[in-house]
Chains A and B, each alone.
Chain A
Amino acid sequence: MFGPYAYFIVTSYLAAALVVAVLIAWVAIDYRSQTRRLRKLEQSGVVRRSGRSATEMT
Chain B
Amino acid sequence: MTLIDLANPTRFLALTARVLPWLAGATAVILLIGLYQSAMAPDDYQQGATVKIMFIHVPNAWLSMFIWGVMSMASLGTLVWRHPLADVAAKAAAPIGAAFTFLALVTGSLWGRPMWGTYWEWDARLTSVLILFLMYLGVMALWRAVEDPSRAARAAAVLTLVGAINLPIIKFSVDWWNTLHQPASVFRAGGPTLDRAFLIPLMVMALAFTLLFLTLHIAAMRNEILRRRVRALQMMQVRAYSSDVKPARREETASLSA
A22 to B216, CA, bound (A): 11
CB nearest to A35 among chain B residues: B226
A12 to B96, CA, bound (A): 18
A3 to B51, CA, bound (A): 13
- Report whether B230 and A9 are in contact in the complex, using a CB–CB cutoff of 8 Å: no
Q: Which residue of A12, A27, A37, A58 is within 8 Å of B111 (Cβ)?
A: A12
- Report whether B48 and A3 are in contact in the complex, using a CB–CB cutoff of 8 Å: yes
Which residues of chain B have C-beta atoms less than 8 A from A26's C-beta?
95
Q: Which residue of A19, A34, A42 is within 8 Å of B103 (Cβ)?
A: A19
CB nearest to B49 among chain A residues: A2
From 1 to 16 in chain A, residues with beta carbon under 8 angstroms from any chain B beta carbon are 2-6, 8-9, 11-13, 15-16
Instruction: Quote the shortest CB–CB distance from A13 to chain B (angstroms).
Output: 7
Which residues of chain B have C-beta atoms less than 8 A from A19's C-beta?
99, 102-103
16 of the cross-chain contacts (CB-CB < 8 Å) are A2-B52, A3-B48, A5-B48, A5-B49, A8-B110, A8-B111, A9-B53, A12-B111, A13-B56, A15-B106, A38-B230, A41-B234, A47-B233, A54-B230, A56-B13, A57-B13
Take A8-B110, A8-B113, A26-B95 as given contacts and tell me if A44 and B237 are in contact as well, using a CB distance cutoff of 8 Å.
yes
Contact bitstring B1-32, A, C-beta under 8 A = 1, else 0: 00000000010011011000000000000000
A11 to B107, CA, bound (A): 8
Which of B169-177, B195-203, B217-225 lies at the binding interface? B217-225
- Report whether B227 and A34 are in contact in the complex, using a CB–CB cutoff of 8 Å: yes
- Report whether B114 and A27 are in contact in the complex, using a CB–CB cutoff of 8 Å: no
Instruction: Quote the shortest CB–CB distance from B208 to chain A (angstroms).
Output: 10
Contact bitstring B215-247, A, C-beta under 8 A = 1, else 0: 010011011001101101110110010000000
- Report whether A41 and B56 are in contact in the complex, using a CB–CB cutoff of 8 Å: no
Which residues of chain A have C-beta atoms less than 8 A from B114's C-beta?
4-5, 8
CB nearest to A1 among chain B residues: B49
Which residues of chain B have C-beta atoms less than 8 A from A13's C-beta?
56
Which residues of chain B have C-beta atoms less than 8 A from A2's C-beta?
49, 52
Instruction: Quote the shortest CB–CB distance from A33 to chain B (angstroms).
Output: 8
